[in-house]
Amino acid sequence: MIRSSTRLPILLCFVLTGCGIVDETEVEAPAGAPFPGLTTSESEQFGLGQALFNRAFTPEEGLGPLFNQVSCSSCHDLPTSGGHGAEPVTKVSHFDERTGCNLLKEDGGDLLQASVVPALRTAGILPERIPVSATAVTELRAPSLYGIGLVEAIDDDDILTRADPDDQDGDGISGRPGLGPQGLLGRFGSKAQHATLSEFIENAIRGEMGLTTPDHPTEERPNGLPLAEGSDPVPDPEIQTSDLTLLKAYVGFLAQPGRRTLDNPEDQAAGEEGERIFESIGCVNCHTPTFVTGTNQTAALDQKRFRIYSDVLLHDMGPELADICVPGARPSEWRTTRLVGLYLRSEFLHDGRARSVRDAILMHGGEAESARYRFQDLTPELQQSVLLFLRTL
Ligand code: HEC
Ligand code: HEC
């Protein structure tokens, strides 16, 4: 089963693109740098977008009245701006087998804002609290944005072809496409609940920083309650479409970090062995090593093969990892995490509960349980080889 399901993408890849010809390092650069080969105007947009991403907004510029942080880079800053983050973000939801997922709009929505501007505080309004109607709470960690433009550049069909919602091949792994707004294929967010980067960014600037946008010119209400008079004097929208476009250019043009060679040649050889084991024990059934982007108007993203180690699909990871839901994903379903740049991180899984890569693997349940057992059945040396391989990604 493992063999046939991994051979197919390799074959397809030869037939469709000639994998040997397209070089995955073309889209790689040191952490935080843009894709190599951007045009002058694209590079300019990247630079202007980066300044906005790093800019600390003040209440006088529209921050709040409810917010979590003052800039994008407050949360996406490790090891450079655009990277992952250690600031947890609280999300809540209500799930019921009969009625499905409810994002608690009337109680202030699924994203909690942990800060308020001074004017709101003076009016006696406190940061949002977890509503009693919530059946689940999670503390999400910001993932790295390096290379995320490549995820947007994959053709829908290349993702959908890997989905097997009813597990027709009987390998215990289904994989469902994420659901974005208007029924579009979801790719972004840990529940694959957003279809495009622009939409995610617009959501982040509103939800995390409290800036209103042309599409959503009304402020969020604290736990669903009315806002105090005068707490938000800045005219809406507080950020313009042109700024959102620049943010999208920055995020979408971030290159992904290159593969790392381990210092010790023995470790390097063991890591190469680990790559073969990663494949043979079935990790690749969800952590798809590479994709090729479709045709793209940005030449730097046009038909590029890149390392991803994700199928961009949702998988049931078992009850231990279950917490919040979204309309398109049950509490136990999560999008396969991209493993590129894993060596830059120190907290793992959606809420950072695993403090080592090994722990993250041992917490895989549900559809990933048999791969986890096969990992546990390896000798300690071979387990170490897999971990060394993961350290090179
Ligand atoms: C308070 C912390 C915080 C701030 C501020 C923040 N983010 Fe995030 N970001 C997160 C978290 C947490 C996630 C994961 C969300 C999820 O899993 O659904 C995330 C996810 C993302 C993603 C999707 C990544 C993926 O793998 O699908 C993008 C894109 C993104 N953020 C961009 C931005 C931009 C642009 C800004 C500024 C406008 C911003 N973020 C501000 C915490 C933050
Ligand atoms: C059924 C699909 C599936 C299989 C099989 C699978 N994974 Fe995962 N993996 C996931 C999902 C989904 C997540 C995210 C879970 C979460 O955040 O709660 C994940 C997360 C991870 C992470 C944490 C990454 C991070 O940055 O947080 C690592 C490391 C990892 N997997 C390695 C492996 C290894 C090694 C194997 C083989 C033993 C494996 N996975 C098999 C789906 C899978």
What is Dmax (Cα atoms) for the chain? 66
Q: Average model confidence (pLDDT) for the chain?
A: 92
Q: What percent of the chain has pLDDT over 70?
A: 94
Q: 187, 160, 165: which is closest to 308 by C-alpha?
A: 187
**What confidence tier does 119 reach under pLDDT thresholds 50, 70, 90?**
confident
State the distance from the centre of ligand 2 to the C-alpha of 29, rounded, in angstroms. Answer: 25
**What would the pLDDT profile of 272-322 be if each residue is shown by its tens digit?**
999 999 999 999 999 999 999 999 999 999 999 999 999 999 999 999 999
State the distance from the centre of ligand 2 to the C-alpha of 364, rounded, in angstroms. Answer: 6
**What would the pLDDT profile of 202-218 be if each residue is shown by its tens digit?**
999 999 999 999 999 98
Q: 307, 327, 281: which is closest to 173 by C-alpha?
A: 281
- Cβ of 72 closer than 6 Å to ligand 1, yes or no, is yes
**What confidence tier does 22 reach under pLDDT thresholds 50, 70, 90?**
low
Q: What is the pLDDT of residue 14?
A: 47
Q: Other CB atoms closer than 10 Å to residue 138's CB: what's the count?
A: 20
State the distance from the centre of ligand 2 to the C-alpha of 223, rounded, in angstroms. Answer: 34
Out of 287, 342, 369, 393, mutate this one to test ligand 2's pocket (max ligand atoms within 8 Å of CB): namely 287
- Cβ of 251 closer than 6 Å to ligand 1, yes or no, is yes
Asked if 386 contacts 376 with a C-beta cutoff of 8 angstroms, the reply is no
Atom of ligand 2 nearest to the CA of 352: 27
Closest-CA residue, ligand 1 atom 39, reads 72
- Cβ of 185 closer than 6 Å to ligand 1, yes or no, is no
Distance from C-alpha of 237 to C-alpha of 182, rounded to nearest angstrom: 24
Atom of ligand 2 nearest to the CA of 314: 12
Q: Other CB atoms closer than 10 Å to residue 134's CB: what's the count?
A: 20
How many degrees, rounded to 5, is the angle at CA 386 between CA 385 and CA 389? 85
Q: Other CB atoms closer than 10 Å to residue 335's CB: what's the count?
A: 24
**What confidence tier does 18 reach under pLDDT thresholds 50, 70, 90?**
very low
- Cβ of 328 closer than 6 Å to ligand 1, yes or no, is no
Closest-CA residue, ligand 2 atom 9, reads 336
Closest-CA residue, ligand 1 atom 27, reads 188
Out of 353, 356, 364, 375, mutate this one to test ligand 2's pocket (max ligand atoms within 8 Å of CB): namely 364
Q: Is the pLDDT of residue 343 over 70?
A: yes
Closest-CA residue, ligand 1 atom 12, reads 142
**What would the pLDDT profile of 130-162 be if each residue is shown by its tens digit?**
999 999 999 999 999 999 999 999 999 999 999
Length of the chain: 393
Closest-CA residue, ligand 1 atom 13, reads 142
Q: Is the pLDDT of residue 16 over 80?
A: no
Q: 40, 50, 17: which is closest to 300 by C-alpha?
A: 40
298 CB-near residues (< 8 Å, 6+ apart): 38, 42, 149, 253
* 37, 81, 287, 303, 323 from 337: Cα distances, Å: 27, 20, 8, 22, 17
**What confidence tier does 230 reach under pLDDT thresholds 50, 70, 90?**
confident
